[in-house]
Every structure is written in structure tokens, then in C-alpha cells.
Amino acid sequence: MIRWLFFLIIGLTALICAGGCSEKNTESIDYFMTIVKDSAVVEYEGVGEYGISLDDSNVVVLLAGGRIENTNKTFDLFLSVPGSSIILPGTYSTGSPNYTLVVSFTEDDPVGVFQYYHSIENIPGKEAPSYKLTLKSITDKYIEGSFTGNYLTRAGSIDSFVTITSGSFIVERYR
């Protein structure tokens, strides 16, 4: 009888542990921002922010960005929603009257001069920059999503642009 009870306890313990006695899952998430620039995939370290604007308590902001360490290469998706207390997963587009979505990109040109590109201005005679941001998940640890678009105009230029057509990200939230 004691032998049977011993095997029953060992068996139940093994069954219970198989379902949840393992160590806490410490698997880390690889945070990233990937873009397709001029038909080439470029990967950045992903960083993000989500919360009430530090400038205006009536605005909620979300930033999904990418950085390449020790360079001036960045890519940012910045969403600002006035009169809201939350940004929900879903799709957001540039040009909406209900919120602002700004896409920006920076890098040094071949001779080392810093260049800033954005979705705010368009090139005369060319379709306006157009981007769609799809937010899949917003947690206390990360922001996940993807985007599609056409081009970004170089600041202060009427004819210089960069083609960035799509990308995806899981960025770590620092706020």
C-alpha cells in the first residue's frame, strides 16, 4: 500500500510539474525595427514610448522607433491622438483629421552630412507621402506592429526623397 501511494504521489507531482513547475520563462524578446529602404531590408534596434504627452496632458502619444548604434541612422513612427486616454491596436494613416501620424528617417549622406526625411511635406507634382501604421499589440513591455508607405521627403528640399515602403517592429517600451 505504501509503495502504491509513493508511486501515486511521484506520478501526480510529475504530472503537475509538467504543466507548470518549470522555472519562470526568462526568454527575452528581440526588439527590432525593420524597414525596406530602396528595396533593401535594413534592421535597427527597436525602442518605443507610449503614454500621455509630456507637453500636453490631453494628448496620448506612441513612438515606435529604430536606431543603429553609433550612427545617425534612425527611423520613427510617431502617433499623436488628441482628446484620448488610450491608443488601441488598429490601423492609423497619415493625413487623418483625428490624429497625427508622422514618419521620419535620418542618415548621413555619402560625404557625412546629416539628412532628415519626413512625411510632412510632399514634392511638387508627386503624390503626397502616404503611410499606414498597423498596431498589433501594446503591452507594458513592448509595442508590436508593421507599416506600409511610399516615400519621405528630405527636409528643406523640393525634389529629394527616400523610398521606404514597408517594415515591421517589436520595440521595447521605455515609457
Rg (C-alpha) for the chain, rounded Å, is 23
Is residue 98 in a domain? yes
Q: Which three cell numbers stand for residue 122?
A: 510632399
Q: What 3-state DSSP class applies to 93?
A: strand
How far apart (Å, rounded) are the C-alpha atoms in residues 99 and 83?
10
What pTM, to 2 d.p., does this model score? 0.82
Residue with more model confidence, 61 or 175: 61
How far apart (Å, rounded) are the C-alpha atoms in residues 121 and 155?
8
Q: Which three cell numbers stand for residue 66?
A: 529604430
Count of domains for the chain: 1
Is residue 95 in a domain? yes
Residues 75-92: tens digit of each pLDDT: 999 999 999 889 999 999
The range of the structural domain enclosing residue 132 comes to 30-173
Is residue 118 in a domain? yes
